[in-house]
Amino acid sequence: MTQHCGVVAMGLLADTGIVKTVPICELEAYNRLDGFGIFCTIRVVGRAELHEIVQQEPYLKAMCYEITDTIPMNLELPNLMATSIESGIAKIASMEQQLELARQGVVVDVANSTVSDDDDGDDNGRA
């Protein structure tokens, strides 16, 4: 914990290799338990890109460079896009409900937002 100022990176290994972008984590606390090992509390504080593996035994050690995200000067466009996505998802959810009601034989008047049962028995939704 004192060798690297309590900072580590967590890597993800797969069959095809190692993921190049890693979270930078800070060790907040740890406890040693006899016969088990170490319990530790870590917190992600940033991201880094793996450039070179410099050691593999007894643990993996690599050269990484911190990734700094750029924040757009004007947040209006990202907010507008987020609002648009949110309303699109709400519209899809509403359409799913209308489809389910139609499958159950309930007539839905989308323009006037009214719901009525299909009582004439012809299964076409018209009175």
pLDDT in single tens digits along all 127 residues of the chain = 455 566 677 677 777 877 788 888 888 888 888 888 888 888 888 888 888 888 888 877 888 888 887 877 777 888 888 999 999 999 999 999 888 888 888 776 665 555 555 555 555 555 4
Tokens 């648009």 belong to 84
Q: Output the pLDDT for position 58.
A: 84
Q: How far is CA 37 from CA 3, 40, 47, in A?
A: 19, 10, 27
Q: Output the pLDDT for position 98.
A: 87
28: left (phi over 0), alpha (psi -120 to 50) or beta: alpha
Assessment of whether the complete model's pTM goes beyond 0.85: no
Q: Output the pLDDT for position 120.
A: 54
Q: Output the pLDDT for position 65.
A: 87
**Could you tell me which of 30, 70, 24 has the C-alpha nearest to residue 45?**
24
**Rounded to an integer, what distance in angstroms lies between the CA atom of residue 56 and that of residue 25?**
20
Q: Output the pLDDT for position 21.
A: 85
Q: Output the pLDDT for position 1.
A: 46
**Rounded to an integer, what distance in angstroms lies between the CA atom of residue 77 and that of residue 84?**
10
- Tell how far CA 68 is from the center of its chain: 19
The two tokens of residue 18 are 């190692």
**Rounded to an integer, what distance in angstroms lies between the CA atom of residue 82 and that of residue 57?**
46
